[in-house]
Chain A
Amino acid sequence: MTKEQKFNVTRWIIFGLVALAIAIPVIIKEHIILPDTSSKVVKSIYDKIESLPENSPIIMSIDFDPSSDEELRPMVVALLRHAFRKNLRVIGMTIWDPAAGGTLADIFTKAGQESGKKEGVDYAIMPFKPGQSAMLLLLSQDIYAAYPKDYKNNDTNKMPVFKDIKSLKDMKLAMCISAGQAVDVWIIYGKEKGKMPLGAGCTAVMATDYYPFLQSGQLVGLMGGLSAAAQYETLIKHKGTATDSMKPQTVVHALIIILIIIGNILYFVNRNKKTA
């Protein structure tokens, strides 16, 4: 067997093991019980929403497209369930790309139907608009100039959900759930101009980039990846897809740690053989 063939066989074994480590816990998920935990940074978002009085307006920027749907959708669904349970008014928007507009409409419509909320009264869905930074600057001055119509072409200034809202400054909380650099744009333009509390949710890859903004108080809380969504589901006592996904996640983590240890052992054994 050549070196390349050996390498390919090793790759396929690892792929196979990872596939099994995911598929088996997915099939037997009812039999796996994980402890309920929540981190301080996730709980601070929960506490912020919990502290808002009924009917307070919040804005949620859904800045991801279907490629990150598996990781970020559970986060948005959990946040919406909490907001709707608290009877908050939620305005959904996106500054990311046109594909995010479809994701936004799909999540909000399903979550609204599930909670028995009415579009235009309890929540609103805004269409995608380009020009991320310019868009947020406009939103911080006049929300109706930025969004004269919703995604179904209804006048926003006639919607009950927009009552007493003029700009971002009137929002009691802004949440940016992003798979890209939208959180940076929200921190620099939305937060600086709107001055409202800002929370962020992002893919796990980006989470470490935003911890410094927690210390400075520019973010009220941070949700990084699927584990944060699972923690939020625990906090709102409504377990869903994120909690289920943490079961295979835990098994795969263990597998990867074992593989790293085996890889290191083999590396040192081979090195010793060469030096001998």
Chain B
Amino acid sequence: MTETLTTTQIFEAWLAVGCTLMIYSFLYKDNPIFKLGEYIYVGLTAGWGLCSAWFMVVWPDLVHPLSRAIGNIFGAKLGKPLEPNETLWLVIPLILGILMLTRFSQKIGWLSRYTFAFIVGSVSGMSIPLMVSADLFKQMVPTLQPLWGEGMNAFQTFNAVLILVGVVKVLIYFFFSVEHKGIVKGIARIGIFYMMIAFGAAFGYTVMARESLAIGRITRLVEWAKPKYYYATIILFFVVAILVALLEILKKKPNPSESGE
């Protein structure tokens, strides 16, 4: 049975195909169609982010509860009793937030430092003990595991040696107080090999990630090329290609005033 699509679904598909092809036109070269797609994306993201921040965070977590708390003081009819988060304490984050906006003024921009000081101080206090525990102490355990012992097979011993050697040699590579000469140079060189293997693995994964994104997009473009979407991909491909070519021709055409005619 053929799936019937609504007008909205078809319109969404055409819009998505159009925007995708506008952005992909960059593969030919930087051009006005790509720029248009880029500006639409940036504007849309900024607008959507602003609206989301207002409706998901600022309104429900600050403006609405604070206005109810203030209304309660002045005896306004609230409909239902105040909830624990509807408190006048919210004035403090409100003031700190407003101080942050003073960055736009050269005259009173220094006021924002109070907010930054609060953020840096509180985040450092929260983070340092937990980071030391999670990123340092807990990471030391697998590095300093026994090289052999009861229940360990040869493969586990080999792994433990590999990790220990790797950690020590990479640390020596980054130890700049001693000149990398003689034995230190040799050890640091093995450290480089370890890092190159890590970078290679990371690069391989990166290629895979980028391929995944391209595959996802092309899969959709293939889907949207079907008759049920009125051949959106095929038609818009030619439209974008013709527009890019036309703009390229217009750009290359010499201006009569400049050529002195």
User: What residues make up the interface of A, taking CB atoms closer than 8 Å to B?
Assistant: 8, 12, 15, 18-19, 22-23, 26-27, 68-71, 97-99, 101-102, 127-130, 133-134, 137, 145, 148-149, 153, 187-189, 191-193, 203-208, 212, 215-218, 224-227, 241, 244-245, 248-249, 252-253, 256
Contact = CB atoms under 8 A, between A and B. Distances in A.
Interface extent on B, as a size class? 35 or more
17 contacts: A23-B222, A26-B218, A70-B215, A98-B52, A99-B45, A130-B57, A149-B60, A188-B127, A212-B139, A212-B142, A215-B163, A218-B134, A225-B212, A226-B208, A227-B208, A245-B216, A252-B215
B261 interface: no
Given A97-B49, A129-B57, A70 B217 contact: yes
A227 B131 CA distance: 30
Given A26-B215, A128-B52, A71 B126 contact: no
Contact of B208 (A12, A101, A192, A225): A225
Contacts of B202: 205, 208
A15 B211 CA distance: 12
Given A133-B126, A225-B212, A188 B134 contact: yes
The residue among B142, B201, B205 with the most chain A CB atoms within 10 A of its own CB is B205
Nearest to B218: A22
Nearest to B137: A216
Nearest to A100: B52
Contacts of A69: 216
A15 B24 CA distance: 11
A55 to B, nearest CB: 29
B209 interface: yes
A148 B61 CA distance: 10
B214 A18 contact: yes
Given A71-B213, A137-B126, A149-B60, A204 B208 contact: yes
B126 A23 contact: no
B222 A245 contact: no
B135 interface: yes
A128 B208 contact: no
Nearest to A137: B126
A98 B46 CA distance: 11
A130 B126 CA distance: 16
A23 B33 CA distance: 24
B142 A215 contact: yes
Contacts of B211: 22, 248-249, 252-253
A153 B65 CA distance: 13
Interface string B80-100: 000111000000000000000
Given A97-B49, A205-B205, A226-B212, A192 B133 contact: yes
A137 B219 CA distance: 40
Given A128-B57, A248-B211, 20 more contacts: A22-B218, A97-B49, A98-B49, A99-B48, A127-B60, A145-B85, A188-B130, A188-B134, A203-B209, A205-B209, A207-B205, A216-B138, A216-B142, A225-B212, A241-B219, A244-B219, A249-B208, A249-B211, A249-B215, A252-B211
